């Protein structure tokens, strides 16, 4: 329910956490949270359980310094580790803000992280902290067409609704959220985050700042998923009805 209320507030005008003005507190460097197997997106919400000492320290610093910012980034499996033994990281990451947190008695944390903005990591910074730091620049969505993305919003709604229905993971609350008056950019980000795609595909979608290109890529992906999950046909009736002969 907490996630549902937060998303409702974000996209019904009662919360401005995702507004550009909310990043006035953003100062380099970024606190990095490399997490294998996860690509985070703006406008999405990520529950995190923080237990490692380095990320406990990172969370303490984010809360104590008041900006509450943490950058989620995907480690690269195709690049050798650094000389210090740390995994190489993707260049494009997602800056998020701790929206809710629970400090546990033993020093662990439960967090809700709200995705705010794409960032490009430009230079990792040596630090005595337990966690990694990097300088970054924020990236803006590039609108290449009509604000509503012409037919794309309706097509994405319809295809996504059909995909979640056919694949058996239908979440009425999520479908209802995606059918609100979301701009095309946030809509593509939430669909990309929700779909069970490979991290390689999700990372490419995160790195794509051109909104219409993201939408077109997702329309193609959704079409392929539907082709792999044809609509179920009606099961034959058994026993069959008596013949009229």
List, for residues 97-115, the tens digit of each pLDDT value: 999 999 999 999 999 999 9
Determine which of 11-25, 117-131, 197-211 has the lowest per-residue pLDDT on average: 11-25
Q: Count structural domains, the chain.
A: 2
User: Residue 117: what are its φ and ψ, rounded to 5°?
Assistant: -160, 145
129 and 53 within one domain: yes
Confidence at residue 21, expressed as pLDDT on a 0 to 100 scale: 42
Structure-model confidence comparison of residues 35 and 26, the more confident one = 35
Is 119 within a domain?
yes
- Residue 31 CA to residue 135 CA, distance in Å, equals 9
Alpha-carbon gap, residue 226 to 135, rounded angstroms? 41
139, 168, 198 — which closes off a domain?
A: 139
Question: What b-and-e string marks burial along 23-53, b requiring 16 or more CB atoms within 10 Å of the CB?
Answer: beebeebbbbbbeeebbbbbbbbbebebeee
**What's this model's pTM, rounded to 2 decimal places?**
0.83
Whether 194 contacts 173, CB under 8 Å:
no
Name the band, by pLDDT with cuts 50, 70 and 90, for residue 149.
low
Based on the fold, state whether residues 130 and 159 are members of the same structural domain. Answer: no
Range of lowest pLDDT (54-58, 112-116, 150-154, 222-226) = 150-154
Residue linked to tokens 């439960």: 110
Domain holding 131, by residue range, is 2-139
């Amino acid at each position: 329910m907490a996630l549902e209320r937060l998303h409702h507030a974000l996209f019904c005008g009662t919360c401005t956490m995702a507004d550009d003005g909310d990043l006035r507190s953003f100062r380099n460097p970024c606190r990095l949270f490399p997490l294998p197997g996860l690509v985070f997106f703006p406008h999405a919400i990520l529950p995190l359980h923080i237990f490692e000492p380095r990320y406990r320290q990172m969370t303490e610093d984010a809360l104590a310094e008041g900006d509450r910012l943490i950058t989620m980034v995907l480690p690269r499996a195709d690049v050798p580790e650094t000389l210090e033994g740390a995994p190489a990281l993707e260049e494009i990451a997602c800056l998020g803000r701790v929206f809710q947190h629970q400090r546990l008695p033993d020093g662990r944390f439960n967090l809700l992280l709200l995705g705010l903005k794409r960032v490009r990591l430009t230079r990792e910074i040596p630090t005595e902290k337990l966690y990694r730091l990097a300088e970054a620049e924020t990236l803006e969505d590039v609108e290449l067409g009509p604000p509503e993305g012409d037919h794309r919003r309706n097509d994405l709604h319809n295809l996504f609704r059909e995909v979640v229905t056919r694949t058996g993971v239908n979440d009425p609350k999520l479908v209802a959220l995606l059918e609100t008056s979301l701009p095309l950019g946030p809509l593509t980000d939430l669909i990309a985050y929700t779909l069970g795609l490979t991290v390689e595909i999700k990372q490419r979608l995160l790195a794509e700042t051109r909104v219409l290109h993201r939408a077109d890529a997702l329309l193609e992906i959704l079409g392929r998923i539907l082709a792999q999950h044809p609509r179920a046909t009606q099961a034959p009736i058994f026993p069959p009805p008596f013949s009229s002969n």
